[in-house]
Chains A and B, each alone.
Chain A
Amino acid sequence: MTAQPRIWDIPGGIHPPQNKHQSTARGLEQMPLPARLVLPLLQHIGNRAVPVVQIGERVLKGQLIAEANGPLSCPVHAPTSGIVRAIEPAPYPHASGLAELAIILESDGQDEWTELRPLLDYRDEQPLNLLDRIRAAGISGLGGAGFPTAVKLASRPDHHIDTLIINGTECEPYITADDMTMRHRAPQIVAGIEVLMHILKPDQVLIGIEDNKPEAIAAMREAVGERPMQVVVIPTKYPSGGEKQLIQILTGKEVPSGGLPADIGILCQNVGTALAVHDAVLLGRPLISRITTLTGAALERPTNVEALIGTPIADLLAFAGLRQNRLYRLVMGGPMMGFTLLDSSAPIIKTSNCLLAGTIEELPPPPPALPCIRCGLCAEACPAELLPQQLHWFAIGKDYEQLQRQNLFDCIECGACAYVCPSSIPLVQYFRAGKAEIRGIELQQSRAEHSRQRFEQRQERLEREAEQRELERQARAEKAARAKAAREAQAAQQQTEQSEQATEPKPAEPDLARIQSRKVTTLSAEQKQLKIAAATARMALQRAQKQLAANPDNADLQAQIPTLEQAFTQAQQAFDAQMSDQEKQ
C-alpha cells in the first residue's frame, strides 16, 4: 500500500448524525425467496425495456424477460425461476407515486438458473465485447441515479479516461449498503474494478471511502493488495459521496457545468456497480439482486440484506421486523436525498440502496417555515457554492432569468441548505419546483420554436410553388405572344407583299430573288458570330425581364433591363447590317 495520496476539501457540507451503526450489527443477510416479484420495466435512466416473455410463460433465473429499447436503456432479467403472471402497471418506487409497467413474476420456489456463460479470461476480449456483456447483463448504476453502466463507460469515446474513481463514500446517514458490500464482497469488487480497468485502461484507480467505515477500508485494502489501485480514505462529511464532490475531493478538479466527468478524463462508478460488473463478466450473471439497507427505528432488527430485484418492500420490512404502529415515514434512500414511499407493495429496483422506516421522533415533520433572515448558513453549507438564500428569493418571485443566472441548474439537491436552515424553509422543494418550471418553459419555447420553423418552411414552400407557377404562366404567355406576333407579322408581310405586288410590281423580282437567295445562302463565320451574339443578348434580356416580373421590386434588375435592351438592339442591328451588306453585294 502506497502512502495516502493528496486529497482536497470541498466547500460547504454538513455533519448530520450518521445513524449507521444500527444496520451494521447483523452482517449481510440473505433475503428469503419472495413468492411474487414485481419487475418494473424502467429501473434506470432512459427508455423503458420491452418485454420478451408472454403471460403464463415459465422463465428461469437469469433469463432475459425484457430487452433494452435503444442504446440508452437496460434489459431486465428474471431474478428467480417462475411463471410470468402479468405485464401491467404496478406500484413503483418513485417520488411521484405513479404506477409503472412491470412484469409480475410468481416464484416457483425452484430458483433454477438459466445457462450462464462465465468469462474468466476476459483479458483476451476486446473492450467492446465486454461492454456488450455489461449492457446485456442489465447493469445500471447502483449508487442511486441508475444510469446504464455500459453507456457511461462509453460516454466519451474520444476522451481518454485517465482516472477511474470507485465510489465507496456512502455519505448519507443511515445507509450502509455500500459499507456492507465492501466488507463482504471486497475481492469481487476488486475483480470488477479490474474488468473496468481492462475496458478503460485508466492511468490511476482511486477508491474513495469515508473514514467512518474502518472495516470496509481494511477489507478493501486487503483485497486490493499490490494491484495498481489506491484506497483513499476521506473525511466523513455530507455530501462527499456526490459524484462531482468525490471527484473534487480525490482530484481537485471540477466537472464543468453541464458536462460529464469524462470531459475531464474521469469516470466514477459505485462499488455496487463494480460488484455487478464482476458478476456479469466473471460469473455470467445478469443483475438480478442487490444489497439493500433496511433501517430506521420502526424496524425491530435493522440490517442489510442481499435481496432479489423486484422483492416487494413489504416483504423486506417484514423481514426486518416492521412495527407498523411506530412507522411514521417510509423513505427509499437516505434521509437527505431519499423520497417518501406511500405504497409498500412497490418493489425494490436496481437503484434501491436503502429503506428507511422512520418513527416520528426520527423523521419529525418540519416546523412551519419562518421568513428567510438571509443568515447565509445555507450558502456556507452548499457544496456547489451557490447562494441558496438568493435562489430562494428568486424562486418565490418566479424570476427564472435570475434563477438561471444564479446557476440553479448546478444545484445537486443534496439538501444541505435545507438541513441547516434555521427558518426551516424547504429550500430544495423550491429549487426542484423552479427547475421544473424552467424546464417546462423551455419545452414550451422549443415547441413554439419548432412550430414556428414548420410554419416558416411551409410558407417558403408555398411561395416557391407560387413562383414556379408564375414563371410557367409567363413562359406560356410569352410563347403565345410570340406566336401571335409571328402570325401578325406573317399576315402583315402577306399584306405588304400583296400591296407591293399590287402597287409596285417592279421590285418584286429582286425581292423574290432575295428570298430565294436567302434560302440558299449559308452564313459566313462572322455572320454566325453576330447571330449568336444577338441571340445571347436577346436571351439575357428575356431572362432579366422574367426575373423582373417575378421580383418587380428588384432595383438591380430594373437597372439591368435598359442596358440589356440596348445590347440586344445593337447586336441585332449589327447582324442585320451584315446580312443586308451581303445582300447588297
Chain B
Amino acid sequence: MAAPMSSPHAQGSNRTRTIMLQVLGATAPGIALMTWFFGWGTLINILLASTCAIGFEAAILRLRRRPIGFYLNDGSALVTAWLLALALPPYAPWWLVLVAIGFAITFGKHLYGGLGQNPFNPAMLGYAMVLVSFPMEMTSWPVWRGIEQLQPAFAPTLGLMEGLQRVFMPGSLPADGWATATALDLLKNNSALTMAELQQAQPAFGSMAGRAWEWVALAYLAGGLYLLYKRIYSWHAPVGMLGALAVMSLLFWNGSGSGSNGSPLFHLLGGATILGAFFIATDPVTSATSNRGRLVFGIGIGVLVYVIRVWGNYPDAVAFAVLLMNLCAPTIDYYTTPRTYGHRKAKRGLGKGAE
C-alpha cells in the first residue's frame, strides 16, 4: 500500500514539459517561413542556441548541485533558446549567440533561482544585452529569398555551407550587398520620403509591414492561435498588447507623409510584434499572474512598444517593452487580484493582512 497522502489523489495529465514542447511546436510555422525566406540561418541559430542553452543549463545546475537530468527534462531552457534564436538575425556570428544565451540562462534565469523564480524574461534579457552591446551584428539582417526578382544585383540567399561559414567565421565573407536594413529601421531613419515612395524605393517594405516579415508574423500568429486553442495560455496578454499597440498607432497615425509614424497594420505585423505578443508576453513566469493582471501587462507592453519605436532610439522595442513590464508585474499583481467567492470586493493594493 502507498504511503498516506492528502487529497487530491487524482491528477490531470498536463505537465510542464508538455507545455514547453507545445510552445516549441507552435513556433514551427514561423521557423518554416523564416527558413524559406532567409535560408539556413534560422535553423543554424536554433541549433546553436539549443546546444548552448543545454550546455549552460547543465553546467549551472551542476554548480547549484541540482539534479541535472530532472531539470533539463522540463524543456524550459529549450524554449528560451528557440525564442532567442528566432529574435536574433539569421546567420548571427556564433559568439553572439553564445553570449546572448549564456547571459539569458545564467543571469536571466539561474541567478534568481532557476525556473519559475526569474523576474525577467530570460530570452529578452539575453536579446537586450547583445542588442545594446553589439548593435552592428544585431542589425545586419540578411536579404530574403526572391529579392533578386526585384533587385537582381543583390546576392542570392546563401547555401548551407556559406551560411555556416558566415556563422562560424564571421567577417570571412563580404557583408556588402548581403545584409540589409529592416522595414522598421528604414521607417525610423526616413525623413524625406512619403510612405508610398518608401514602399516603391525600398523593397524591404512589402505590401503591409515589411517584405517577408509580414508573412513570418502571420505564421507566428497561426502558432499563437494554436496555443490559445490548446489553452496553454489565456488571450489576455496577447490581446492586451496588440490592442494597445493598435490603439496607440491609430491615435498617433499622422498619415502617410514623410514624417509618418507608420500605420497600425505596419506596427502590428512589423518587427517582432506578433512573436512578442504570442510567445514573449505570454511567458507566465515573468508576467502578471491573474487574467486581469495579464491584460494590464499586455497593454503596458503594447504602449511601450509604440512609444519606443516611434519616439525612442531603437527601431524595434519588444524586448525593452517586455523587460520594463516585467519590472511592473509584481505591482500589477497587487492591484489586479480577482474578487474571491463570498467577498463583496477584491482586496487590492499593497497592504498586508486580512483587514
Chain A residues within 8 Å of B, Cβ to Cβ: 11, 14, 16, 95, 97, 173, 244, 248, 254-259, 327-331, 333, 335-340, 342, 356, 358, 360, 363, 365-368, 370-377, 379-380, 383-387, 389-390, 401-402, 404-407, 410, 413, 415, 418-424, 426, 428-429, 432
Contacts and interface: CB of A to CB of B under 8 A. Distances in A.
B-side interface mostly: loop
A374 B284 CA distance: 5
Interface of B: 1-2, 4-12, 14-16, 18-19, 70, 74, 76, 114-117, 232-234, 284-285, 287, 289-291, 294, 333, 337-343, 347, 351-355
Nearest to A370: B16
Contacts of A387: 289-290, 337-338
B8 A415 contact: yes
B6 A432 contact: yes
B289 A422 contact: no
A528 to B, nearest CB: 68
Contact of B342 (A254, A335, A340, A374): A254
A110 B343 CA distance: 55
Given A374-B284, A379-B290, A379-B291, A256 B342 contact: yes
B9 A375 contact: no
B9 A244 contact: no
B339 A331 contact: no
A371 B114 contact: yes
Contacts of A337: 7-8
Contacts of B70: 368
A373 B76 CA distance: 10
A75 B34 CA distance: 76
A376 B342 contact: no
Given A365-B2, A373-B115, A390-B289, A419 B352 contact: no
Nearest to B14: A422
A23 to B, nearest CB: 16
Give the top 3 A-B pairs by smallest Cβ distance, nearest first.
A415-B8, A371-B116, A257-B342
Contacts of A372: 116
B341 A402 contact: no
A358 B5 CA distance: 13
A-side interface mostly: loop
A401 B284 contact: no
A338 B7 CA distance: 6
Nearest to B5: A340
A329 B7 contact: no
Given A420-B12, A422-B18, A374 B116 contact: yes
B7 A16 contact: no
A413 B115 CA distance: 27
Given A376-B291, A418-B8, A428-B8, A405 B353 contact: yes
A419 B10 contact: yes
Given A374-B289, A422-B18, 11 more contacts: A16-B10, A338-B7, A360-B2, A370-B74, A370-B115, A373-B16, A375-B232, A385-B340, A407-B347, A410-B342, A419-B8
A108 to B, nearest CB: 34
A371 B16 CA distance: 9
Contacts of B76: 373
A363 B289 CA distance: 30
Given A328-B2, A375-B19, A389-B289, A384 B116 contact: no
12 contacts: A16-B12, A97-B4, A336-B10, A340-B6, A356-B9, A372-B116, A374-B287, A376-B234, A405-B355, A407-B343, A422-B14, A426-B6
Contacts of B285: 373-374
B9 A377 contact: no
A482 B290 CA distance: 83
Contacts of A367: 15
A258 B354 CA distance: 12
A136 to B, nearest CB: 34
Nearest to A95: B6
Contacts of A360: 2
Nearest to A341: B4
A434 to B, nearest CB: 13
Contacts of B287: 374
A14 to B, nearest CB: 7
B293 to A, nearest CB: 9
Contact of B234 (A327, A380, A385, A386): A380
B341 A248 contact: yes
A329 to B, nearest CB: 5
- Taking each of A337, A370, A386, which has the highest tally of chain B beta carbons within 10 Å of its own beta carbon? A370
B19 A422 contact: yes
B343 A336 contact: no
B340 A415 contact: no
A423 B355 contact: no
Nearest to B71: A370
B133 to A, nearest CB: 29
Nearest to B18: A422
A336 B10 CA distance: 6
B1 A373 contact: no
A366 B4 CA distance: 12
A241 to B, nearest CB: 15
B7 A410 contact: no
A137 to B, nearest CB: 30
B8 A385 contact: no
B343 A257 contact: yes
A257 B347 CA distance: 13
Nearest to A367: B15
Contacts of B355: 405
A140 B62 CA distance: 57
A387 B233 CA distance: 15
Contact of B7 (A254, A339, A358, A389): A339
Contacts of B11: 366, 418-419, 421, 424
B323 to A, nearest CB: 17
Contact of B12 (A339, A389, A419, A428): A419
Nearest to A96: B4
B341 A385 contact: yes
Contacts of B114: 371
A248 B2 CA distance: 37
Contacts of A366: 5, 11
A261 to B, nearest CB: 11
A370 B67 CA distance: 12
A410 B340 contact: yes
Contacts of A248: 341
B10 A173 contact: yes
A561 to B, nearest CB: 50
Given A244-B341, A376-B290, A376-B291, A422 B15 contact: yes
Contacts of B8: 335-337, 415, 418-419, 428
Nearest to A333: B7
A426 B5 CA distance: 10
A387 B288 CA distance: 12
Contact of B333 (A173, A390, A424): A390
A384 B9 contact: no
A336 B285 CA distance: 27
A419 B14 CA distance: 9
A46 B256 CA distance: 77
Nearest to A438: B354
B245 to A, nearest CB: 23
B333 A331 contact: no
A12 to B, nearest CB: 10
Given A335-B10, A405-B353, A371 B341 contact: no
A404 B284 CA distance: 24
A26 B233 CA distance: 43
A255 B289 contact: no
